[in-house]
Structure 1
Amino acid sequence: MTIPGPVPPPSNSLEAMSQSYIDCYYSRTLATSETYPSAGGRIAADVCIVGGGLAGLTAALHLTRAGRSVVLLEAQRIAWGASGRNGGFVSAGYATGLSNIERRVGPDQARELYRLSMEGVEIVRGHIADLKIAEAQPVSGIVKAVRYDTRGAMRSSRDKQEREFGMRLRYLPREEVTAMFASPKYREGVLDEGAFHFHPLNYGRALAREAVRLGAAIFENSAVVSVDLEGARKRVKTRDAEIDAEQVLFTTGGYTGAVLPALKKAFLPIATYVLLTEHAPDLVRSAIRTTAAVLDDRRAGDYYRLVDGGSRILWGGRITTRTTDPRDIAALLRREMVTTYPQLSALKVEVAWSGLMSYARHLMPQIGQLRPGVWFCTAFGGHGMNTTAIGGTVVAEGMSGESDRYKLFAPFGLTWSGGVFGKAAAQLTYWSYQAADAAREYRSH
Structure 2
Amino acid sequence: WAAAGADIVELDGDAVRAASGSPAYSFALRHAAGGHVQPLSLTRGYARAAAALGAQLFKETPMTSLERANGKWRARSDKGEVTAENVVLTTNAYTNGLWPRLRKTFHPLVSIIIATDPLSDTQQREILPGKVTISDSRLAIFYSRYDRDGRLIFGCAGSSDTVDTLGGYARLRRGLKTVFPQLADVPIVRKWAGRIAVTPEMMPHLHEPAPGVLAGLGFSGRGIAMTSVMGRALSAKLLGTSADDLPFPIVPITPLPFHELTRRLIPLAAPAMTMKDRFDTLTDGA
Question: TM-score over 0.5 for the alignment?
Answer: yes
Residue 308 of structure 1: how far off its partner (Å):
2.9
Report 1:408-419 matches (<5 A). Answer: 408-410=248-250, 413-416=253-256, 418-419=258-259
The aligned length equals 282
Structure 2 partner of 1:264:
103
Counterpart contact for 2:163–2:193, Cα < 8 Å? yes
Letter in 1 for 2:84: A
Confirm or deny: 8 A CA contact 1:364 1:412 kept in the other structure: no
> What residue is the counterpart of 1:234 in the other structure?
73
> In the alignment, which residue of structure 2 is the partner of 1:17?
none
CA contact (8 A) 2:105 2:199 kept: yes
CA contact (8 A) 1:274 1:315 kept: yes
CA–CA separation in structure 1 for the residues paired with 2:257 and 2:234:
22
Report if aligned partners of 1:277, 1:351 keep a CA contact under 8 Å in 2. yes
Partner in structure 1 of residue 133 of structure 2? 293
Report the Cα offset of residue 187 of structure 1.
0.7
Distance 1:430 1:329, change over 3 A: closer
Match of 2:44 in 1: 205
CA distance in 2, matches of 1:237, 1:285: 52
2:73 and 2:84 in contact (8 A); partners too: yes
How far apart in 2 are the matches of 1:341 and 1:436?
21
1 CA distance for matches of 2:273 and 2:249? 27
Q: TM-score when scaled to structure 1?
A: 0.58
**176-185 vs 223-232, which moves further:** 223-232
Within a 5 Å distance, the mapping from 1:179-328 to structure 2 comes to: 179-229=18-68, 232-281=71-120, 282-309=122-149, 311-320=150-159, 322-326=160-164
1:74-113 → structure 2 map (5 Å cutoff): none
Shift of 1:263: 1.6
Compared with structure 1, are the counterparts of its residues 407 and 283 closer, same or farther at alpha carbon in structure 2 (3 Å cutoff)?
A: closer
Aligned-pair distance for 1:241?
2.0
Q: CA deviation at 1:360?
A: 2.9
The Cα of 1:375 is off from its aligned counterpart by 1.0
Gaps of 5+ in 1: 1-160
1:227–1:196 Cα change, 3 Å: same
Q: 1:413 to 1:176 in 2, by over 3 A?
A: farther
Q: Which residue of 2 aligns with 1:377?
A: 216
1:293 partner amino acid: T
Residues 180 and 286 (structure 1), Cα distance of their counterparts in 2 relative to 1, 3 Å cut: same
Once residues 252 and 184 of structure 2 are traced to their aligned partners in structure 1, the CA distance between those partners, rounded to angstroms, is 44
* Structure-2-length-normalised TM-score: 0.88
Q: 2:12 aligns with which of 151, 173, 176?
A: 173
Distance in 1 of aligned mates of 2:257 and 2:34 = 31
**Matches of 2:273 and 2:284, distance apart in 1:** 17
In structure 1, C-alpha distance between the alignment counterparts of 2:247 and 2:25, rounded to whole Å: 40
Q: Distance in 2 between matches of 1:269 and 1:230?
A: 32
Provide, for residues 155-185 of structure 1, a one-character-per-residue CA deviation record: whole Å limited to 9, x for no partner: xxxxxx212x211111112110011223321
- Post-superposition CA distance 1:266-320 (Å, at most 9, x none): 23332210110012323344443331110112222201012235x3200011233
Between 1:414-423 and 1:245-254, the stretch displaced more is 414-423
Whether 1:365 and 2:204 are equivalent positions in the alignment is yes
Counterpart residue type for residue 302 of structure 1: F
Larger RCO, structure (CA 8 Å, separation 6 or more): 1
Equivalents in 2 of 1:393, 1:169: separation in Å? Answer: 26
- 2:263 equivalent among 420, 423, 431: 423
Determine if contact 2:208/2:252 at 8 Å carries over to the other structure.
no
The 2-side partners of 1:407 and 1:234 are apart by: 26
Identity, % of aligned positions: 24
Aligned residue identity for 2:278: A
Mapped to 2, the partners of 1:407 and 1:341 lie a distance apart of 39
**Number of the residue aligned with 1:59:** none
1:354-394 per-position Cα deviation (integer Å, ceiling 9, x unaligned): 11222234432121200111111112231111111111111
1:326 maps to a residue whose letter is: D
Amino acid at match of 1:268: H
Give, as a single letter, the amino acid of the residue that structure 1 aligns with 2:189: E
